[in-house]
Amino acid sequence: MPTTLITTPTFARHSARPWQILEEAGAGPLRPREDTALPTAELLSHAAEADALIVGMDPITAEVMDAAPRLKVIAKHGVGVDTIDVAAAHARAIPVVCAPGSNSRAVAEYTFGLLLSAARSLTASHTAVAAGGWPKLFGPELHGRTLGIVGFGRIGRLLAGYARAFGMDLLAHDPYVPEADVRAHGAEPAALDALLARADAVSLHTPPDPSGTPLLDRSRLAAMRPGAIVVNAARGGLVDERALADLLGSGHLGAAALDAFSTEPLPEDHPLREAPRTVLTSHMAACTPEANQAMGAMVAEDVVRVLAGAEPHHPAR
């Protein structure tokens, strides 16, 4: 009987259907822990018995694959596969699958919530009131402001719709999307540096550079408009977090809202913990029951397909 090793604690949290799909196919789900992501040492120790992996943010390297001689498929319980060495998997004839579109609406809604919270200091007000204060914190209205969206796939386009409903002007940068498609969603195409120079707020929806170089490095953050807001609900590593903290501290940037960080959980000495005008959340933009059910079912179905010798519906390229 094949065994599916599940390393992400959120798999099937809001629906029994993904478990049922695996069990009905005799795919032997194995979940060594239920409360936290599986540490690397435990992942390697259990990999030898795995015919399939369903993973979250775990780094799935060539070392992990070599420790799993029975491995036939790797499934990302989500969309982005940047934590999986896809080239190494393909070199070993191991398909990689994911769940495209399953969490797009959840992330887009959350991202707009981050923007609104950062602009109007909602979390800062809550913290102060809960502690006995009663501050009157001012922040800009979003109507008439310009939102720059970096990465104009499913999430970026949904975000554009929410921003238009608030009366925002839109710029979008995505070298893989035709300009006509950008304009069709109410946004003006722009080169990245031009977008950063013009936008009152910038939201990131793109994978990190494989080299590890932040897309928004110190020079690009410094080139943004005074008072601009930075939002990142995509991936850690897209923003130079030390530079961001420095520019918030100097007052050059107006606010920042982040749901993804270069190191997670956030270290105690992380510079953004002490930076002003920040909203920091625990990589939970995709955490809705609807998205959880959809992504779990999608990856479970593809795992079953591959184990049965069929082509997956949602291969990662």
**Residue closest to 49 by CA, chosen among 23, 25, 67, 76:** 67
For the record, the structure tokens of 15 come out as 């629906």
Considering the candidates 77, 145, 185, 283, report the single residue annotated as catalytic: 283
264 included as an active-site residue: yes
14 included as an active-site residue: no
283 included as an active-site residue: yes
> Inter-axis angle of helices 122-130 and 104-120, to 10 degrees?
70
**Residue closest to 237 by CA, chosen among 268, 267, 258, 256:** 258
Considering the candidates 77, 205, 235, 277, report the single residue annotated as catalytic: 235
Residues marked as catalytic: 235, 264, 283
